[in-house]
Amino acid sequence: MKIAVYPGSFDPVTYGHVDIVERAASIFGKVYVAVIKNPDKKENFDFKTRQKMIKGAVKYLKNVVVEIFDGLLVDYAKKKNASAIIRGLRAVSDFEYEFQMALTNRKMCPDIETIFFMTDYKYAYLSSSMVRQISKLGGSVSGMVPHNVEKELKGG
């Protein structure tokens, strides 16, 4: 069984992320969605809340497990026996950062391949920080995030 890890900060998870999880889950036997700390980012939701939101959003996918991990991504992937790291691509602007991360991870762990899935065009504009901003300013994020996340953004 091929195992993949889909890492991200998911602060919060959006329909764009869910789209990538669905694509990965249809190809891999098991997918670990890992809520991982990005040391360069300020956190909004705590790890447990982010994990809860993703779990709620993908509970219909039986081969997906959602976990929290604080450390190096390649260490987590090795621990899970994963052969691939999944990342989503939205636009050309994602490429440079993703290219650098993929090559850095490959340098640290040549056995693990990074695989990119193109997000659905419907979600190509989405990002977690935009969702947070809209929500904080009282706008509607309907259609951008799963219903359980919408509820959490409104205060649970």
Active site positions, annotated: 17, 41, 90, 128
When asked if residue 14 is in the footprint of ligand COA (CB under 6 A), the reply is yes
91 three-state secondary structure: coil
79 binds ligand COA (CB under 6 A): no
Among 101, 106, 21, CA closest to 57: 21
Binding mask 32-51 for ligand COA (x = CB under 6 A): ----x-x--x----------
Q: Which residue is nearest to ligand COA (CB)?
A: 16
Closest to 68 (Cα-Cα) out of 126, 109, 142, 7? 7
Task: Give burial (CB, 10 Å; 0-12/13-18/19+) of 149.
Answer: buried
Residue among 76, 7, 75 at smallest CA distance from 35: 7
CA angle 128, 154, 45 (to 5 degrees): 45
Residue 17 is assigned to a ligand binding site: yes
138 is known to lie in a ligand binding site:
no
Binding to ligand COA (CB under 6 A): which residues in 108-147?
119, 123, 126-129
Residues of each annotated binding site for substrate: 9, 41, 73, 87
Residues of each annotated binding site: 9-10, 17, 41, 73, 87-90, 98, 123-129
* Site residues, ligand COA (CB under 6 A): 7-11, 14, 16-17, 20, 36, 38, 41, 72-73, 88, 90, 101, 104-105, 119, 123, 126-129
